[in-house]
Amino acid sequence: MARLRVVGPKSHRDHCIERLHELSIMQIETVFEEKEGFLKRVPIEREKLDEKKRLEEMREMISQTLSVVPRTYGGEPEKIDKPAIYEEFEGLTPVMERAAHLYRKREELKEELERVSRYEHLLRSFVPIISALGGLKNIEITGLVVDRTIPGILMLIEEEVKRLTKGAYQFHARPVDEDTVAVVITYQRRYSPQIRHIILGEGIDEIRLPEQYRDMPLLDALKEMIRKKEVLPERIESLRKELETIARSWGMRLHGLKKAVEDAIEEIEVLHYFGETRFLFIIEGWVPRDRVGYLRREFEKEFAEDVIVEELELTAEELDRAPVCIENPPYIRPFEIFLRALPPPRYGSVDPTPYVALFFPTFFGLIVGDVGYGLVVLATGLLVRRRYRERGFLRDAGVVLSLSGVSAVVFGVLFGEFFGGLPERWGFHPLFERMEGLKLFLLFTLGIGIVHTAMGFVIGGLNQLKRGRPGKAAEKFTSLILTVVIILMVAVVYNYLPEGFLTPLVAVFVVGVALLVWLEGVVGPLELVRSVGSILSYVRIMAVGTSSVVMAVVANKMAGMSTTILGGILVALLVHLLNIFMTFISPIVQSMRLQYVEFMGRFYEGGGRLYRPFSKR
């Protein structure tokens, strides 16, 4: 990355901002004031602040409209140039006001339908009782909904009413559902205040009709609610269709206008980062080094010599704060999703994505190693990629799954597995059978662990040398040498190497440990022990893969033991489905763990910040 300074007359400031926005390659940073006062921060003009406020109000109105219309439109947002923003907004204002009105009306009707449905259900429980009691003068009728799960609640209510009315009451209860019961109490009106005060409490609610129904007789209110319940869904659906028409007709245009408004707001907000003198404006920011020449050429064409672009000299501390621009070829880029679980890499450190793109599918394929399961994973990945092509993370996850499925198919052919050992029954002889060669497979996975871990140390050491840190590089290479020495010593103990190697290996080990303690302190040998343990972690490739094979074999044997063909197929299908489900969890988790902990832990340095250029939407 290169840090650039752009200097020009104030008359060119706004045009320069627009050009930088179009080019979308500079990450603009704050210009600090100089102590002498020659350079100061730009105060944003009142007219600019007023414009920003109006643009924010426009953005809010557009966002609200887009949130209330159905997402039935597709395609690319219409491109709207900055000069046309206000004209477009004025033209679309009636559309947005109409959409807001329709949405409010629809929500009001939905709320009314919900209220009507709730009260209509309760009133149906009350009507048979109240119809027989209504019309009596000086009689109060109170409807309650009571939580019947409270022990003895109905008895307590009736006892209180009986006491207050001296027995002059009627009490009727009818279940509404398993948790509530509807209660109707009739009594002389003069007892109403005392009864209401006593009986209403926790677990008891009085039925109060919505305001528009309170002056109606109960039966009339019920009839009106039933009528509304039949009519309201049609009106709600009509409003939804009208909103849908607005979405199809104006959705992409509204989206384009929103993006144009947001771009215009950004062009005002970016002024906070600028500096100025009496006659000049100053912009500073980061640009990828290979695009500096392009930026200069574009500014020369646009401003001739009026605006100057110069590259600033950087200290080591400033380089550490530089943003990180991660660029990988298209076939590797999907694996960048693994970096999202980590803090961004520090500038000058190593991007692990290419290595993950190589090793993750390989480890996944080794663990699954079955053509049938691999085809299921491949099909799932392709489906996810196609279904969510507009959503970056899920689309990339689909690509990773697809490549992992291909790897599982390749290793499945090598191991001769198709939903377990079915190919062997058909006379196919694999190149390598995992169940029969467990010891060899174990040694193979340990070898992978040695290579993978050693590669992590080498990458870390070379990167430290590149960044001018020989001490840190020495730590990495010393740890690598000691790890290899320990492995060779184990090989001698188990007679894989001649005993004569042991003495020189011990000597190298002692010298290496002393050097490691000198370089890293007591932590060095402890990290060495962890490194050796990390290699053993790769045995999980063999263990998890073998358990999957065993489960597939069990599924096929259980099918063969079944007394009927249909029963055998169902049993095998259920067990294979369970194994497939585990295929989407265990191999992914184990492969990710080996990448994050055992490999990337040797060289990955977090704490950076991603390159985010000043870009138009």
List CB contacts of 453: < 8 A, sequence separation 6 or more.
483, 531, 534, 535, 598, 599, 602
Residue 372 is predicted with a pLDDT of 87
Residue 361 has pLDDT above 90, yes or no: yes
Surface-to-core class of residue 242, CB atoms within 10 Å of its CB (0-12 exposed, 13-18 middle, 19+ buried) = middle
Which of 17-26, 326-335, 416-425 has the lowest average pLDDT? 416-425
Model confidence at 117, pLDDT cuts 50, 70, 90, reads: confident
pLDDT tens by residue, 499-540: 777 888 888 888 887 887 787 777 777 777 777 777 888 888
Which tokens hold the place of 445? 């996975």
Strand partners of residue 205? 145
CA–CA separation, 115 and 448 (whole Å): 66
**% of the chain with per-residue pLDDT over 90:** 16
List CB contacts of 160: < 8 A, sequence separation 6 or more.
195, 198, 199
What DSSP line would sit under 103-127, residue for residue?
Answer: HHHHHHHHHHHHHHHHHHHHHHHHH
Domain limits, the chain: 118-231
Residue 93 is predicted with a pLDDT of 92
pLDDT tens by residue, 463-472: 888 878 888 8
Greater confidence, 36 or 481? Answer: 481
pTM of the complete model: 0.68
pLDDT tens by residue, 166-196: 888 878 777 777 777 877 777 777 887 877 7
Residue 603 is predicted with a pLDDT of 85
The listed range with the strongest mean pLDDT (20-24, 415-419, 483-487, 534-538) is 20-24
CATH topology classification for 118-231: Alpha-Beta Plaits (3.30.70)
Residue 398 has pLDDT above 80, yes or no: yes
Q: Which of 443, 396, 403, 451 lies closest to 599 in space, CA to CA?
A: 451
Count of other CB atoms within 10 angstroms of residue 118: 12
Residue 362 is predicted with a pLDDT of 92
Which tokens hold the place of 594? 């080996």
Q: Which DSSP category does 610 fall into?
A: B
pLDDT tens by residue, 196-236: 777 766 556 666 666 666 666 556 777 777 888 888 889 99
Region 335-349: mean pLDDT is 85
Q: Which of 298, 346, 368, 266 lies closest to 576 in space, CA to CA?
A: 368
User: Beta-strand (E) ranges in 455-580?
Assistant: none
Region 418-423: mean pLDDT is 72
Residue 36 has pLDDT above 50, yes or no: no
